[in-house]
Chains A and B, each alone.
Chain A
Amino acid sequence: MITYLNAQSPHNQHILVEKPGKSLIFAFNFSGSIFVDIAAENALVTILGAYTGTKKECYALRTTQNHRAPNSCSQLLIKGVFDGESSFSYEGLIRIEKIAQQTLAKQSNLNLILSPSASVNSKPFLEILADDVICSHSSTTGHPSEEEIEYLAGRGISSHEAKTLLASAFFHDVFRKTEFISEHAGISACRKKIASLWK
């Protein structure tokens, strides 16, 4: 099952997972809420997000990984690069109910800020009511590393070019995680758009 969301998609997305197997939710510059209700055992849910903010663009995303069946797995990776005066608010929750033993749930939100006027608010929350689970989250917000820019400069790449190169490379692992599905028109278009964005 593939759900593709973009800026035009309805804001409230309720996704019920009631069968075992893999499912993918991919959000490209989508604003709104994604509630993933995992009610089946042996489900593997992948939630991916790519956000590119330029000018005065403003995105707000809320995700919930609601585990109410045992033996399932969910992984979330939201990455964003923000330039200009753009802003991004992220609020994510992993909720593991008492019954959902042996859940593996992960949540990551990684952001790059390219300009002094861009901003990011990130709230990665966990509510764990079962004990036999592995659950983790991480969130980072920073700028392209000086070391990497210098390395590229040493190879004749200007600082501006280096930044754009690093920004598009930043999304690499988001797309790599989609490789288990056959090509999807929306995701491919998103990939092309990101690659061309900082040219």
Chain B
Amino acid sequence: MTSTDDIKNINDDYRYGFAMPERATHKVQPGLNAEVVSAIADIKQEPEWMRLFRQRSYEIFLQKPMPEWGANLTTVDFDSLTYFIRATDEQKYSWEDLPAEIKDTYDRIGVPKAERDFLAGVSAQYESEVVYESIKSELESQGVIFCDMDTAVRRYPDLVKKYFGTLVPPSDNKFAALNSAVWSGGSFIYIPKGVKVELPLQAYFRINSQSFGQFERTLIIADEGSYVHYTEGCTAPIYSSNSLHAAVVEIFVGKNAHVRYTTVQNWSKNIFNLVTKRAKVSENGLMQWIDCNLGSCVTMKYPAIYLIGRKARGETYSIAYAGKGQHQDAGAKMLHLAPETSSRVISKSISKHGGRTSYRGLTYVPHGSTGSKSYVACDALILDAESRSDTYPVMKVHENESVIQHEATVERISEEKLFYLGSRGVNRQEAEGLLVNGFIDQVTKEIPLEYTVELYRLMNAEMEGSVG
């Protein structure tokens, strides 16, 4: 079997695998060099500080070594990728105005319908830039800003300058440096003091081209006492060549504020997904990452929460599914940098058909963070003899007035439960599906209902015929 057939075979059930003809009004040459970096700044007509930021980041990128721990990244070829494609000349505010193939793409993913039904704002990124954007007018009048990052650099330079790159500096890791050099698109959200956005704000990321790199940059600032729920979904067509998605997400949670960030990552299995996500939480604030990783060939993503204010809280709920040819290396980092902070991590992973899931996490309690509490639970299911599961947690505790707990289990679906369900007339395949859904239930109940239904559907499609 050729490698292309192989990939087709893996992706049989992936319903977002269609591709539209490539369209580009601006496209840089494949490969990465200083010219490409400044060409992106030219096309975007960026201010000098951002141009310098990109150049500096590119230099850091060249100096940083590839990470040698975690997943195998030896097949990432920086020179074969295209770093910037602009699909439309300007951003649209109505679906009807979009070029037919882009509109059709989002119709097939179901975005316009979702927007009508249950969202407060939508941003849709196609290749490098956001092509569609909308926000409910009442939110705008309350001072809520929801726009793409490029617009934010032009329109709110002071706000952006103050926060951009401060939580995830370019020197953080090789892929953060790469993102900082060639970033494009992503969301910028500002929620003023005391404003609570009841319905979720949503971003959809779509890669359409072959051998393309998407590098969006998201910045969320939630001022004192505010609330926002941001969700993102990711899909891409199936090609035999690999693409790269390396995003940076920075979130600032103010005093008493609450931010919830939900990701349903369903990239096709030719995408490397290497993402740096970090949140900083002030006094009595709450940050929640809800992270579902189903797609991509390799994911390396460890959403971090820096608890810097007294009584700040952090929670991460994650689900990872690894099928044939997939390695999901995900986890959570909790840094208790103030007294009476608390954190909770619930991670569920499932591996099947030779897939590999890894949990990698950090809990850090320095001296002085008295009364801090942390609880981490990772459960893994291995569904066949070819698959693999790893757990790599690190706990650094330098404060005696704290309680740090970690537990993990790895097992397969128990014959006892299957037998019990079998004796009640549930066939083996359904029983397995039921038990897997039960296994991830603790996390799925944190996800908005519309997504839960979609997630169960996706999981069941992935699980089909897994009994053996």
Q: Which residues of B contact A131 (CB under 8 A)?
A: 382-385, 387, 412
- The verdict on A128 contacting B367 (CB below 8 Å), with A101-B385, A115-B400 known, is no
* Separation of A129 and B402 alpha carbons in the complex (Å): 34
A66 CB → nearest B CB, Å: 14
Q: Report B376-409 CB contacts with A as 1/0, cut-off 8 Å.
A: 0000101111011111111111111111111111
Name B's interface SS.
Answer: strand
- The answer to whether the Cβ of B411 comes within 8 Å of any Cβ in the partner chain is yes
The answer on a CB contact under 8 Å between A132 and B412 is: yes
Nearest opposing residue in chain A for B367, CB measure = A116
Does A58 lie at the interface of the complex (its beta carbon under 8 Å from any beta carbon of B)?
no
With the chains together, A141 CA to B403 CA distance in Å? Answer: 6
Q: Which residue of B lies closest to A123 (CB)?
A: B394
* Residues in A neighbouring B396, C-beta threshold 8 A: 119-121
Contact indicator A139/B401 (Cβ below 8 Å):
no
Output the least CB separation between B370 and chain A (Å). Answer: 8
For chain A, which range describes its interface: under 10, 10 to 19, 20 to 34, or 35 or more residues?
Answer: 20 to 34
Q: Which residue of A lies closest to B384 (CB)?
A: A131
Q: Scan residues 65-123 of chain A and give those whose CB is less than 8 A from a CB of chain B.
A: 98, 101, 111, 113-123
Pairwise interchain contact A141-B383, C-beta atoms closer than 8 A: no
Those of A15-41 within 8 Å (CB) of chain B: none
Q: Residues of B contacting A137 with CB < 8 Å?
A: 391, 406-408
For B383, the closest partner residue in chain A by CB is: A131
How far apart are A149's CB and chain B's nearest CB, in angstroms?
13
A113 vs B395: C-alpha distance when bound (angstroms): 14
When the two chains form their complex, are residues A126 and B410 in contact, meaning their CB atoms are under 8 A apart?
Answer: yes
Q: Which residues of B contact A139 (CB under 8 A)?
A: 393, 395, 404-407
Judged by a CB distance under 8 angstroms, whether A130 is at the interface is yes
Complex formed: what's the CA distance from A137 to B408 in Å? 5
Residues from chain A with Cβ under 8 Å of B404 in the complex: 139-142
- Cβ distance A139 to chain B, nearest Cβ, rounded Å: 4
Q: Is A134 an interface residue (CB 8 A)?
A: yes
Closest chain-A Cβ to B381's Cβ sits at a distance in Å of 9
Measured between C-beta atoms, what is the minimum distance from A72 to chain B in Å? 16
Contact assessment for B400 and A134 in the assembled complex, using a CB-CB cutoff below 8 Å: no
A127 at the interface (CB under 8 A from B): yes
B354 to A: closest C-beta gap in Å: 11
CB distance A125 to B410 under 8 Å? Answer: no
List, in ascending order, chain B residues with CB within 8 A of A138's CB.
405-408
Q: Which residue of B lies closest to A127 (CB)?
A: B390
How distant is B320 from chain A, measured CB to nearest CB, in Å?
15
CA of A114 to CA of B401 in the docked complex: distance in angstroms?
Answer: 9
B284 CB, min distance to chain A CBs, angstroms: 23
CB distance from B428 to the nearest CB of A (A): 16
Of chain A, the residue at the smallest CB distance from B388 is A129
In the complex, how many angstroms separate the beta carbon of B328 from the nearest chain A beta carbon? 15
Complex CA–CA separation, A119 to B380 (angstroms): 30
- Please name all residues of chain B whose beta carbon is closer than 8 Å to the beta carbon of A136 when the two chains form the complex: 407-410
- Chain A residues within an 8 Å CB radius of B407: 136-139
- Find chain A residues with CB under 8 A from B394 CB: 121-123
User: Shortest beta-carbon distance, B336 to chain A, in Å?
Assistant: 12
A91 and B383 alpha carbons, distance in the complex (Å):
28
Bound-complex Cα distance A111 to B396 (A): 12
With contacts A113-B400, A142-B402 taken as known, whether A132 is within 8 angstroms of B408 at the C-beta atoms is no
Q: Quick check: B406 and A133 within 8 Å, CB to CB?
A: no
Q: Across the two chains, which residue of chain B brings its CB closest to A142?
A: B403
Q: B402, A128: Cβ atoms under 8 Å? A: no
Q: Closest Cβ of chain A: how far from B367's Cβ, in Å? A: 7
Most buried by B among A117, A126, A129, A130: A126
Bound state CA distance, A137 and B388, in angstroms?
Answer: 17
Please indicate the chain A residues that have their CB under 8 angstroms from the CB of B406 in the complex: 122, 124, 137-140
> Complex formed: what's the CA distance from A111 to B383 in Å?
34
Residue on A with the closest CB to B358? A127
Q: Report the bound CA distance from A125 to B392 in whole Å.
A: 5
Q: Does A177 contact B (CB under 8 A)?
A: no
User: In whole Å, how far is B303's beta carbon from the nearest beta carbon of chain A?
Assistant: 20
The residue in chain A whose Cβ has the minimal distance to the Cβ of B396 is A121
Flag whether A143 is at the interface (Cβ < 8 A).
yes
Question: Which residue of chain A is the closest to B390 with respect to CB atoms?
Answer: A127
Instruction: List B residues at the A interface (Cβ < 8 Å).
Output: 367, 380, 382-385, 387-412
23 A/B residue pairs, CB under 8 Å, sorted by A: A113-B399, A113-B400, A117-B367, A119-B397, A120-B396, A122-B395, A123-B394, A124-B393, A126-B389, A126-B390, A126-B408, A128-B389, A131-B385, A132-B385, A132-B412, A135-B409, A137-B408, A138-B405, A139-B405, A141-B395, A141-B397, A142-B405, A143-B402
Extra pairs beyond A119-B398, A136-B410, A143-B403 (20, CB < 8 Å): A98-B385, A111-B397, A113-B397, A113-B400, A118-B400, A120-B396, A121-B396, A122-B397, A124-B406, A126-B390, A133-B412, A134-B410, A135-B409, A135-B411, A137-B406, A137-B407, A138-B406, A139-B404, A141-B404, A143-B400
> Can you list the 8 inter-chain pairs with the closest CB atoms, starting with the nearest?
A113-B400, A119-B398, A126-B391, A142-B403, A131-B382, A138-B407, A141-B397, A135-B410
